[in-house]
Amino acid sequence: MVGKSLASPLLTFQPAINCSFSTSDTAASAPRFSVLKLSSLDGLTLNIRTDAIRGRGCISVCTSQKWVIRSTAKTQTIVLGDEEKKMWEACRQALSAFSFSDEEEDKILGKAFGQIHSPYWGEDRAKEVPKFETVNDILDYLKNLGLSDDDLGKLLKKFPEVLGCSLEVELMTNVHVLEKEWGIKGKSLRNLLLRNPKVLGYNVDCKGDCMAKCTRCWVRF
């Protein structure tokens, strides 16, 4: 999918998220705050200001290179290395066709890959940095089911975790079950997925004998 051009890491998550670039292995070392002019990893020159009144981010100077993304709404932090940041940006590019804000793209990816807590996964989802191929393959598969870009945008807002599900083991298998066992396909399948997209991630059937995996159980269907 062709989307908007990649933004610089320090610009990517503003204004909804404060970002800090650190260069110290010593957590106890006192950061220095000032007005700085830096060149980012993408080759862009940035003017960074510490402006507490406007709620802008600040730069602390220290030694290990990590991109720290802080959600001001839920105080959850995503820490990415340089290569991981490039992977994250590529996945955001895959979502750019759906007119999400930067904050929405980060939230969707964060919930899908365990970077932001989601009750859907419970404690089962380990943190993972998404891969472009994984995200793009799932989006292409859903589109081939008859979902338009507008449909996909609605589905992803309602069930962002779908991007973190297994394409072959869960999505394809469940669509096959819906078609074979329930005769749901075509427009009926599209309507079902818009109404209850979580069906794509079902991976257990307790048959009434609870297995404590209710968010992913066919009993909810």
| Inter-CA distances, 94 with 11, 22, 98, Å | 18, 28, 9
- Closest by alpha carbon to 60, among 29, 20, 8, 12? 20
Task: Summarize the confidence of residues 141-145 as an average pLDDT.
Answer: 97
Nearest Cα residue to 157 out of 127, 121, 194: 194
Q: What is the mean pLDDT of residues 170-175?
A: 96
39 backbone dihedrals φ, ψ, rounded to 5°: -105, 125
Domain residue limits, the chain: 11-80
Tell me the per-residue pLDDT of 94-137, one tens digit each, with 9 for 90 and over. 999 999 999 999 999 999 999 999 999 988 889 999 999 999 99
pTM: predicted TM-score of the whole model, two decimal places: 0.66
* Cβ(102)–Cβ(13) below 8 Å: yes
| Mean per-residue pLDDT of the chain | 74
Residue 162 contacts residue 155 (beta carbons within 8 Å): yes
Provide the β-strand partners of residue 71.
Answer: 17
The predicted-structure confidence for 18-29, as pLDDT tens digits, reads as follows 444 343 444 444
